[in-house]
Chains A and B, each alone.
Chain A
Amino acid sequence: MEIYGYRVPAAAALIVWVVIWEIVGRFDLLLMFPPFTEVLASLPDVIGTPSFAEAARITVVSYLAGLALAIVVGIGIGLLMGLVKRADQILNMWVNIFLSAPLSALVPVIMILFGMGSPTVVATVFMFAVWIIALDTRAGVLHASPSLLEMGRAFGASRGQRLKLILLSALPEILAGIRLGVIRGVKGVVIGQLLVSIIGVGALFSLYSQNFLMAHFWALILILFAFALSLAELINRLEARVEYYAGSRS
């Protein structure tokens, strides 16, 4: 971004919003918004409490469990869809429905199935993340160069070795799917916990809002945002490392 010939980093836009937030807070214009500085000041307060440590632990554990499950199952479904035409015809519609459906509406159903605890949150993360991973894996497999697969056959590759060729060809798309899955998974873990609301971050959110600790409430949101963005950035780095061959495919 350039303003009057000066190069300004894109993050500068955030500062404008922070200033507006601060003004709104200072003059008590909106009930929900304490000044931004107050939110920052309550950050250590939030992080320091033992209930936050417990909430963070339970959140991270159920998030990682759900995500791991989604990656394994998502890549599996995607491979199946990319390789077997029949499976694709059967699954494609369902995967697309789940991808665009408002999954939050399903969480109560999941809650009935898995109870009011971590399993529900794991299942929610899984439901949020798995479909995009499956679809991107499918796209990657379908994009794999036919002549590369022919090459594998011509030089006597076994089934397993040909599958490895396909997986490595699809790796850029699979990673893109995982990156989107990571972000969707954060939504899943928050929505799951909010609806269950007696464990993890969800419990904290109810605690803060019921006691009208708005500064704490916003501080927790900031932490969650930072968590999701840094995870996505991490996957981005990983993607950049394999990008060299995404570009050379023709």
Chain B
Amino acid sequence: MNVTHLSESRAHSAPAAGDAARDAIIEVEGIHKIYGGSVTALENINLDFHRGALTSLLGPSGCGKTTLLKILAGLLQPTSGEVRVNGTPVTGPGPERAFVFQDFALMPWATVLRNAAYGLELRGVSLREREERARHYIDEVGLSGFEDKYPHELSGGMRQRVGLARALAVDADVLLMDEPFSAVDEQTRRKFQEDLIRLREIEKKTFLLVTHSIEEAVYLSDRIVLLSPRPGRVAQIVTPEIDRSGDPDAIRRTPEYLDLIDEIWAGLRTYVE
């Protein structure tokens, strides 16, 4: 376990030694976001996100974690500062980034297959090819057999799997996930988290996950960025060193997992009280 405490002046200093070898796919430099001229949502965010890693943005509500994710996605413009993806500044959404929405954002009038293929449809991929690719990812997220169902015929967890399949199908480098499991019931969430670990081994993509669940962040992440609220700042960066190769359920019993949850809670509780 490796915990880096960051004072404001050191916010851009190199993260933990073990990460130094990895290259940054997303670089965030001096991001400020001010709403309506007075409410500061984000203040001086400097971060690197590593290629192939799963990084969580963790913090209590109001810390601007979703705002930061939407700025990275190009859906929101920062008040000042710059985001670079693969070295190119972000001005809007781009094909190298795919987004998974908290409320799934599926088209209710379209089948699972068409929803999963929608990103490809927008890119003008031919019907046959996009359905073939969509089918592949529908299968990968565990929804095969449901291709012709409509979203309202699926449970919340299954709907989010469609959202995940849609994001995977466009073959982006980075998957930006905005509290993807928060609208899903607890049992489904656990299964979903286990599936995500397995999916990461197959897909080798960079994942960014916004969450307010400490357990979820520790369970899934290679790196956790803790944000403090009002204004949103980087409070701490934590690098869990948990072996995720074995039984996914066993992770929840390892001492590293349990200790880290306690430690992060100890750090966060000051903001909640």
- Select one of B75, B95, B107, B122 contacting A168, CB under 8 A: B107
Q: Which residues of A contact B122 (CB under 8 A)?
A: 152, 155-158, 161
Known: A148-B105, A161-B122, A245-B109. A154 touches B93 (CB 8 A): yes
Known contacts A145-B105, A153-B93, A168-B109; can you find 14 more A-B pairs with CB under 8 A? A147-B101, A147-B105, A148-B105, A150-B75, A150-B99, A154-B75, A155-B93, A156-B119, A156-B123, A168-B107, A245-B152, A248-B108, A248-B151, A249-B108
Tell me the complex Cα distance, A168–B99, Å: 22
- What's the minimum C-beta distance from A249 to chain B, rounded to whole angstroms? 6
B98 in contact (CB, < 8 A): yes
B118 in contact (CB, < 8 A): yes
User: Which residues of A175-210 are within 8 A (CB) of B?
Assistant: none
CB nearest neighbor in B for A247: B152
Task: Give the size of the chain A interface in residues (CB under 8 angstroms).
Answer: 23
The answer to whether B107 touches A242, judged by C-beta atoms less than 8 angstroms apart, is no
The answer to whether B109 touches A154, judged by C-beta atoms less than 8 angstroms apart, is no
The digit string for B71-113, where 1 denotes a CB below 8 A from any CB of A, is 0011100000000000000001111011101110101110000
Q: Which residues of A contact B99 (CB under 8 A)?
A: 150-151, 154-155
B150 in contact (CB, < 8 A): yes
B residues sitting closer than 8 Å to A (CB atoms) are 73-75, 92-95, 97-99, 101-103, 105, 107-109, 118-119, 122-123, 150-152, 166, 170
Q: Which residues of B contact A153 (CB under 8 A)?
A: 75, 92-93
CB nearest neighbor in B for A150: B75
Q: Which residues of A contact B108 (CB under 8 A)?
A: 244-245, 248-249
- What's the minimum C-beta distance from B245 to chain A, rounded to whole angstroms? 32
A residues sitting closer than 8 Å to B (CB atoms) are 145, 147-148, 150-158, 161, 165, 168, 171, 242, 244-245, 247-250
- What's the minimum C-beta distance from B88 to chain A, rounded to whole angstroms? 16
Q: Which residues of A contact B103 (CB under 8 A)?
A: 145, 147, 250
CB nearest neighbor in B for A147: B105
The majority secondary structure among interface residues of chain B is loop
The answer to whether A245 touches B150, judged by C-beta atoms less than 8 angstroms apart, is yes
CB nearest neighbor in B for A245: B108
Tell me the complex Cα distance, A171–B94, Å: 29
The answer to whether B109 touches A151, judged by C-beta atoms less than 8 angstroms apart, is no
The answer to whether B109 touches A171, judged by C-beta atoms less than 8 angstroms apart, is yes
Tell me the complex Cα distance, A244–B152, Å: 8
- What's the minimum C-beta distance from B220 to chain A, rounded to whole angstroms? 22
- What's the minimum C-beta distance from B191 to chain A, rounded to whole angstroms? 23
Tell me the complex Cα distance, A247–B153, Å: 11
Tell me the complex Cα distance, A161–B97, Å: 19
The answer to whether B118 touches A155, judged by C-beta atoms less than 8 angstroms apart, is yes
Q: Which residues of B contact A145 (CB under 8 A)?
A: 103, 105
The answer to whether B93 touches A156, judged by C-beta atoms less than 8 angstroms apart, is yes
Tell me the complex Cα distance, A16–B222, Å: 76
Tell me the complex Cα distance, A73–B93, Å: 34
Q: Which residues of A contact B105 (CB under 8 A)?
A: 145, 147-148, 150-151
- What's the minimum C-beta distance from A107 to chain B, rounded to whole angstroms? 39
- What's the minimum C-beta distance from A74 to chain B, rounded to whole angstroms? 21
6 example contacts (A-B, Cβ-Cβ < 8 A) are as follows A153-B93, A156-B95, A156-B119, A242-B109, A244-B152, A245-B109
Tell me the complex Cα distance, A161–B107, Å: 13
Q: Which residues of B contact A147 (CB under 8 A)?
A: 101-103, 105
Q: Which residues of B contact A154 (CB under 8 A)?
A: 73-75, 93, 97-99
Q: Which residues of A contact B166 (CB under 8 A)?
A: 155
CB nearest neighbor in B for A148: B105
Tell me the complex Cα distance, A158–B122, Å: 8
Q: Which residues of B contact A150 (CB under 8 A)?
A: 75, 99, 101, 105
Tell me the complex Cα distance, A249–B93, Å: 25
CB nearest neighbor in A for B92: A153
CB nearest neighbor in B for A171: B109
- What's the minimum C-beta distance from A240 to chain B, rounded to whole angstroms? 14
Tell me the complex Cα distance, A245–B101, Å: 19
The answer to whether A155 touches B152, judged by C-beta atoms less than 8 angstroms apart, is no
Tell me the complex Cα distance, A245–B170, Å: 25
The answer to whether A244 touches B107, judged by C-beta atoms less than 8 angstroms apart, is no
- What's the minimum C-beta distance from A141 to chain B, rounded to whole angstroms? 16
